[in-house]
Amino acid sequence: MSTSTEPTPTTTTTATTSAGIVDDIGYGRQFDGWYHRLFPDDASVVAEVERLVSLHPDPASGTVEFGVGTGRIALPLSRRVGGITGVDSSPEMLDVLRRNLTDDTPVEPVHADICTYTADRTVGLVYCICATLSMLLTPEEQEQAVRRAAGLLAPGGRLVVETHNKPAILDLHEGRNRATYFTPYPEPGTGLQSHSQLLPESLWHLAHVWYEADGTTRVGTEVSRLTAPDEMDAYARASGLEPEARFGDWPAETELYTAHSPLAICTYVKPS
């Protein structure tokens, strides 16, 4: 067992596809077998789908998800809005998505990098949720992904971005660089223990230990970049989008964003 105080670096692999060179940070290789335990198909999925349906300006014009993963949101959303192009750098996650496709879930899996992905048509909605944007570890990469999303939008189209809420994460640490917390899950005997470390350049390292009811555990690590809503607004403006609204969580009855909100959900519109 390592006793190092520094986070273990993530191994990045590359692949050449029809969409170009794809950098994969290895998230799927760590989490594909138990991602569904961390993010179950529960009421939160319903809330996210309902909010995205309400934000879609024109379902017939098409939809793109940046960071589609296993299709946790794209699959049920496609039943409401029609065809969705799901872009992800993880072949493992996309394999899970393909296994879950049915006749009534028109989702097209695309192995590509959200910083470089392009298409020959525009759509009405691009959404990038579950802190996918935070997986890009520099402001330049994050802005590039937003610029790509803006390029996919038709005039009047909308971009939706959800990340961790940076002020709330900082408050969780109470002025310290490290924090450990446990999140119990509804299923008896299960839960997630997270060891959190704040690093320079707004980077955030998390080491997770997942506990099953039978006593078995799974371990995974991730590094993300905490991004404040004002930064996302700046990326959007630089990409020709207009900031529209901020929400602190997905349910429709949720109050607008505050510094104490669990999430930062920002919406942007491409001028008509």
What local confidence, expressed as pLDDT, does residue 40 receive? 83
pLDDT tens, 8-24? 444 555 544 444 556 65
pLDDT tens, 181-210? 999 999 999 999 999 999 999 999 999 999
Q: What is the mean predicted confidence (pLDDT) over 145-172?
A: 97
| DSSP class per residue in 109-176 | EEE--TTT---SS-EEEEEE-TTTGGGS-SHHHHHHHHHHHHHHEEEEEEEEEEEE-HHHHHHHHTT-
What local confidence, expressed as pLDDT, does residue 175 receive? 93
What local confidence, expressed as pLDDT, does residue 205 receive? 96
Residue ranges per structural domain of the chain: 13-167+226-269, 171-223
Q: Percentage of residues in the chain with pLDDT exceeding 70?
A: 90
Whether pLDDT at 98 is above 70: yes
What local confidence, expressed as pLDDT, does residue 201 receive? 95
Contact 146/84 with Cβ under 8 angstroms? no
Q: What is the mean predicted confidence (pLDDT) over 222-236?
A: 96
CATH of domain 13-167+226-269: 3.40.50.150
Q: Percentage of residues in the chain with pLDDT exceeding 90?
A: 82
From the list 212, 250, 256, the residue with the least C-alpha distance to 37 is: 212
